[in-house]
Chains A and B, each alone.
Chain A
Amino acid sequence: MTQTDLSWVRTELAQPMPAPPGERGLVAWVRKNLFASVGDTILTLVGLVLVAMILPPIIDWAFIQAQWTGPDRTVCATVAQGGTQPDGWSGACWSFVNAKFGQFMLGRYPLEERWRPILVGILFVALLAPLLIPRVPHKGLNAVLFFLVLPIVAFVLLVGGMFGLPHVETPLWGGLLVTLTLSFVGIVVSLPLGILLALGRRSKMPVVKMICIVFIETIRGIPLITVLFMASVMLPLFLPAGVTFDKFLRALIGVSLFAAAYMAEVVRGGLQAIPKGQYEGADSLGLSYWQKMYFIVLPQALKLVIPGIVNTFIGMFKDTSLVYIISMFDLLAIVRQNFSDASWASPQTPASGLIFAAVVFWLFCFGMSRYSMFMERRLDTGYKR
């Protein structure tokens, strides 16, 4: 009997074939991502028209036609407006920003004392940068320096009046200095205060709970402007006669309390997401309330709500611009104030100044949100509920 071996087994693996030409390369990408269907093509065309309408004028205005240097408004105004530019010219007036840069950063801080806020700024960056980079060691010492020592040093340097430094009154402060001081103090105060309020709101003691709920809900229900109004006009009435305190400090209190109420709600969300077993486990170990919260619950809860906390920070950073309403000069307000400077007033000045302020705010906020995303990924232990 002859056996015909009909079966055939391939001994080596077949090599994968290259993708068909229509599925790779730029053409395929364009076809898949821009022209997948009739509707898609229409959308792409609409998008292209939109980009073509918006982008070239912006680039032209901000870079090509822009004036980067110049002594006064004449470089940013057309002949008809009393300047040197040809009629019909329209471009950004970066020379305005250039000339006012010192004011935008530090306000009316006396010129010969400006090294002080600049030194504080350098210290701030020098201490913040290693704190943010996870690989740098000595985090504990760094945090102590940043959150405890820096504020004291900064206070001495900025306010002065001791160690031979002349006193600089807060109404002279301005620009980015005010924006950053308000947000830094707001962040440092509102997080612990918010955690306390959130714990209070979750407390089993009805009186404490009531106080916290009323505080949080009232503050959250009203605009920041109202809180600032309260801080600036009502607070002086609440204090005994003769006791006054600085307007800057009042704004700080208003902003911090406002942010604390929002922070409390964010932290409460984190506390609620921790399973009951964790609380009970801590209780069964015989931990006291504060030990339970500090060692077991809060580390988990805060990690869960990092995005929310950073969102509140970003919101607060943006909201510091509202101190303009109670006539303090943060970055936005000082830009706004300089529109009316007669030697720079031109139709291009407001937009240029505002775009500069927008870029500064944007860099800070965008940086914060990106960093929080990075931290979220780093702290992610993989235990997803």
Chain B
Amino acid sequence: MASQEVLREEPTRGSLINDPRVRSIFIQVVAALALILFIWWIVGNTIDNLQRLRIASGFAFLKGRAGFDIADSAIAYSSDSTYGRAILVGLINTAIVALAGIVTATIIGFMVGIGRLSNNWLIRKICTVYVEVFRNIPPLLVIFFWYFGVLSVLPLPRDSIELPFGSYVNSRGFYFPRAVWGEGAWLILLAFLLGIAMSWFVARKARQRQMATGQQFPVFWTSVALIVGLPLLAYVASGFPLSFDLPKKSTFNLTGGFQVKPEFLSLYLALSFYTAAFIAEIVRAGVRGVSRGQTEAAGALGLRSGPILRLVVVPQAMRIVIPPLTSQYLNLTKNSSLAIAIGYPDLTAIAGTVLNQTGQAIEPVLIMMAVYLGLSLLTSAIMNVVNAKMALVER
């Protein structure tokens, strides 16, 4: 009886120190205060230092004349342009090298990753060696290797190495014919876009028909015919408006054509080869992650190995592959900032130059941070959409 009475009593209040809620609030208040004090201290110091060193602050410098040249620029730029435009050039260069690197790294990575799962002993070993070599050396070293070890020991322009299709390679880069579009070339582009739109439409219709009647339609070949054939037709119809500006050998240099500079080339190759090793491992893990039962069940249904891969294994593997693949894409984008080491004018390199010229340390770094964070968010957003498409739809 006594025990029941005890139970009915109010629990005795302990000290406030032992109340988890009070403690939690106390810790948070202390943390917030400490953070605010810390930031206040930093901001105070910074303002002091800036005044003492007579460094201007604010983003007004973006409108100032840059006064330096940029070797590789996708948009019109001269040393008379503004700092803002210089940074934009850098941003575009970063985007170009990141995008090109992502595409190439994905292709190499998928090939090597699937190669590591091959039944063929030789192919498996070659792919393993590739992955183990590139995963364990710093990307900067790979970039240096391409730049100093390979591209800069190529012959001088007058002994350029000739490659097929009128392209040349020498120590100043890679030269290939530039397409010169004549009048009516827009027709070809239009036909190309039309081809893509029509094949999308055909694929949709074909799927609907297969769902309804079970009859298949050769979507792939139709699409090839549409996407390649229509522009070809347009090319003929508009009177062959395409000519090539071929690089020509002169005594000391190559003139004409399209030049890819060795800086870009080594950065692009290094990033692709380096990231491809990581993508290969991701792909391998993804394909391994699909249980054997799936393959066997598909085989029992009478599918052949091609359709088993395409319809059963790959869609499930992609679910495992996409999230880590996204972070590899982000890594590649961030690693493109290594461009500064060999003088390719990417965002980091140009922001660094701006920082040195204006003496304003904070703003360029802030711009860099904002841009890279933005690029990261953008890439993640795109990959999240892809991921959502691929994700398991549970019923």
Looking at the complex, which one of A50, A204, A332 makes contact with B144 (CB distance below 8 Å)? A332
Whether A225 is near chain B, meaning CB under 8 Å from some CB there, is yes
Q: For residue B352, which residues in chain A have a CB less than 8 angstroms away from its CB?
A: 229
Closest partner residue, chain A, to B335 (CB atom):
A223
**Given A238-B45, A369-B136, A354 and B120 contact (CB-CB distance below 8 Å):** no
Alpha-carbon distance A339/B48, docked complex (angstroms):
42
Q: For residue B119, which residues in chain A have a CB less than 8 angstroms away from its CB?
A: 33, 36, 40
Alpha-carbon distance A50/B111, docked complex (angstroms):
15
A85 to chain B, nearest CB (A): 15
**Given A34-B121, A223-B348, A240-B48, A354 and B136 contact (CB-CB distance below 8 Å):** no
Whether B15 is near chain A, meaning CB under 8 Å from some CB there, is no
Q: For residue A234, which residues in chain B have a CB less than 8 angstroms away from its CB?
A: 361-362, 365
Interface string of B15-44 (1 = CB under 8 A from A): 000000000100111011001000000100
Segment of B80-88, B148-156, B181-189 in the binding face: B148-156
Segment of B70-78, B368-376, B381-389 in the binding face: B368-376
Closest partner residue, chain A, to B43 (CB atom):
A238
Alpha-carbon distance A221/B122, docked complex (angstroms):
39
Whether A197 is near chain B, meaning CB under 8 Å from some CB there, is no
Q: Are B139 and A354 in contact (CB under 8 A)?
A: no
Whether A100 is near chain B, meaning CB under 8 Å from some CB there, is no
Looking at the complex, which one of B31, B48, B373 makes contact with A241 (CB distance below 8 Å)? B48
B154 to chain A, nearest CB (A): 10
Q: For residue A350, which residues in chain B have a CB less than 8 angstroms away from its CB?
A: 144, 148-149, 152-153
Alpha-carbon distance A211/B372, docked complex (angstroms):
20
**Given A208-B28, A233-B361, A336 and B144 contact (CB-CB distance below 8 Å):** yes
Whether B50 is near chain A, meaning CB under 8 Å from some CB there, is yes
Looking at the complex, which one of B46, B49, B136, B373 makes contact with A365 (CB distance below 8 Å)? B136
Whether B52 is near chain A, meaning CB under 8 Å from some CB there, is yes
Whether A182 is near chain B, meaning CB under 8 Å from some CB there, is no
Looking at the complex, which one of B122, B341, B373 makes contact with A218 (CB distance below 8 Å)? B373
Q: Are A238 and B42 in contact (CB under 8 A)?
A: yes
Interface of A is mostly: helix
B108 to chain A, nearest CB (A): 14
**Given A40-B119, A362-B133, A321 and B148 contact (CB-CB distance below 8 Å):** no
Q: Are B141 and A361 in contact (CB under 8 A)?
A: yes
Looking at the complex, which one of B35, B50, B145, B148 makes contact with A211 (CB distance below 8 Å)? B35
Looking at the complex, which one of B118, B133, B139, B149 makes contact with A351 (CB distance below 8 Å)? B149
Whether B261 is near chain A, meaning CB under 8 Å from some CB there, is no
Looking at the complex, which one of A40, A50, A233, A351 makes contact with B153 (CB distance below 8 Å)? A351
Whether A206 is near chain B, meaning CB under 8 Å from some CB there, is yes
Q: Are A332 and B45 in contact (CB under 8 A)?
A: no
**Given A241-B48, A336-B144, A350-B152, A47 and B369 contact (CB-CB distance below 8 Å):** no
Count A-side interface residues using an 8 Å CB cutoff. 55
Which of the listed residues B137, B145, B152, B153 has the most CB atoms from chain A within 10 Å of its own CB? B137
Q: Are A322 and B136 in contact (CB under 8 A)?
A: no
Alpha-carbon distance A268/B50, docked complex (angstroms):
39
**Given A47-B120, A222-B368, A319 and B138 contact (CB-CB distance below 8 Å):** yes
- A 188-224 contacts with B by CB, 8 A: 204-208, 211, 218, 221-224
Alpha-carbon distance A73/B340, docked complex (angstroms):
29
**Given A226-B368, A226-B372, A362 and B137 contact (CB-CB distance below 8 Å):** yes
Closest partner residue, chain A, to B142 (CB atom):
A358
Whether A51 is near chain B, meaning CB under 8 Å from some CB there, is yes
Whether A366 is near chain B, meaning CB under 8 Å from some CB there, is yes
Interface of B is mostly: helix
Alpha-carbon distance A237/B133, docked complex (angstroms):
41
Q: Are A332 and B138 in contact (CB under 8 A)?
A: yes
Q: Are A223 and B337 in contact (CB under 8 A)?
A: yes
B335 to chain A, nearest CB (A): 7
Whether B132 is near chain A, meaning CB under 8 Å from some CB there, is yes
B395 to chain A, nearest CB (A): 26
Q: Are A239 and B45 in contact (CB under 8 A)?
A: yes
Whether B206 is near chain A, meaning CB under 8 Å from some CB there, is no
Q: Are B137 and A47 in contact (CB under 8 A)?
A: no
Whether A324 is near chain B, meaning CB under 8 Å from some CB there, is yes
Looking at the complex, which one of B50, B338, B365 makes contact with A233 (CB distance below 8 Å)? B365
Whether A292 is near chain B, meaning CB under 8 Å from some CB there, is no
A279 to chain B, nearest CB (A): 14
Q: For residue A362, which residues in chain B have a CB less than 8 angstroms away from its CB?
A: 133, 136-137
Q: Are A321 and B27 in contact (CB under 8 A)?
A: no
**Given A218-B369, A226-B372, A238-B45, A34 and B120 contact (CB-CB distance below 8 Å):** yes
Q: Are B148 and A222 in contact (CB under 8 A)?
A: no
**Given A44-B122, A237-B46, A205 and B373 contact (CB-CB distance below 8 Å):** no
B166 to chain A, nearest CB (A): 24
B346 to chain A, nearest CB (A): 10
A220 to chain B, nearest CB (A): 8
Q: Are B49 and A237 in contact (CB under 8 A)?
A: yes
Whether B334 is near chain A, meaning CB under 8 Å from some CB there, is yes
Whether B224 is near chain A, meaning CB under 8 Å from some CB there, is no
B369 to chain A, nearest CB (A): 5
A204 to chain B, nearest CB (A): 7
Q: Are A361 and B52 in contact (CB under 8 A)?
A: no
Looking at the complex, which one of A47, A50, A237, A321 makes contact with B138 (CB distance below 8 Å)? A321
Looking at the complex, which one of B46, B120, B337 makes contact with A238 (CB distance below 8 Å)? B46
B71 to chain A, nearest CB (A): 19
Chain B contact residues, CB within 8 Å of chain A: 24, 27-29, 31-32, 35, 42, 45-46, 48-50, 52, 118-123, 126, 132-133, 135-141, 144-145, 148-150, 152-153, 334-335, 337-338, 340-341, 348, 352, 355, 361-362, 365, 368-369, 372-373, 376-377
A-B contact pairs, 24 of them (CB 8 A): A40-B119, A44-B120, A207-B31, A207-B32, A208-B31, A222-B368, A225-B337, A225-B338, A225-B340, A225-B348, A229-B368, A234-B365, A241-B48, A241-B52, A318-B138, A325-B341, A351-B145, A354-B144, A354-B145, A355-B145, A358-B145, A362-B136, A362-B137, A366-B136
